[in-house]
Amino acid sequence: MNENRIQTFTEEIGELKLRGARADRERWLLAIGTVALVAGVALAVVGGFQASGTTEVGDQLAFLATGTLIGLALVIAGAALFVRYSIARFMRFWLVRLVHEHRTETDRTIEALKRIEDKLK
pLDDT tens sequence across 57-80: 888 888 888 888 888 999 999 999
Query: Which residue stretches of the chain have pLDDT < 50?
Result: none
* Residues 87 and 33: beta-carbon distance below 8 Å: no
Tell me the C-alpha distance between 42 and 80, whole Å. 17
Cβ burial, residue 36 (10 Å; 0-12/13-18/19+): buried
The per-residue pLDDT for 79 is: 94
Residue 19: predicted pLDDT: 62
pLDDT at 21: 58
Residues 113 and 65: beta-carbon distance below 8 Å = no
